[in-house]
Amino acid sequence: MEPVQPPSRPYRGTAAGDRVAERRERLVEAGIDVFGSTGYRTATVRAICARAGLTKRYFYESFTDSEALLLACYQRAADEILTAMVHAVTGAPANVPAQLHAALAGYFGAIDGDQRLARITLLEILGVSPAVDAAYRDQTERFGSSVELLAQEAFTASDLPAIQRHLVAQGIIGAITTVAAQWLLTERRAPLTDLVDATDVLVLAVLDRLRTGGTG
């Protein structure tokens, strides 16, 4: 019979599991800062640990490598952006055009308010590895599903097959993120209101085409 291990003792009133979670949080925050400013490909574990105020020992306590940290940072960034969009939609009038405009304002407002989120989700996540590509694909699916839910009436009115409607939703996300990436790469020269208004026109045009039937 295996001996029962005593529980880890609190250190200065903090349980061991809480200390691990707190160190992991510090590393994620440091990763967002480093990946979102100087970039993933030039970042080192040493630099991230220095930013977090931790040693490498504690980095490997939570992450196998910098790619694992990138995935955690990407998830956090995507969550923050989606939360901003949902919050904006809940404060909008209960009609699709108003809620769509609010969602776009929430998206562009989030990446303008914290440009680290923009860089991570639009640039640093691309072409890293198959695992990171899979995470990017999953997030595109997630945001595409949000579009289908927000504009459910237009998607259900369409006579397109389900797979094509799903691809349309993904295409909407792709168009929005392409506009956002160009804005980031051109040093944010376009005013935020122009980004929101232009993508609003684009998405409404697609939704109108869905409602009028499809492929002709």
Give all domains of the chain, ordered by start, each with its CATH number: 12-63 (1.10.10.60), 74-211 (1.10.357.10)
Q: Nearest CA to 106 among 195, 179, 13?
A: 195
For the chain, the residue count is: 216
Using the structure block, give the residue that is written with the tokens 């860089």: 119
| Cα–Cα distances in angstroms (integers) from residue 70 to residues 45, 49, 65, 121, 147, in the given order | 11, 14, 9, 10, 26
Question: Which of 200, 184, 211 lies closest to 88, judged by CA?
Answer: 200
- Could you tell me which of 8, 73, 12, 86 has the C-alpha nearest to residue 40? 73
For 113-150, the pLDDT digits (tens) are 999 999 999 999 999 999 999 999 999 999 999 999 99
202 by Cβ neighbours in 10 Å (0-12 / 13-18 / 19+) ranks as: middle
pLDDT band (50, 70, 90) for residue 17: confident
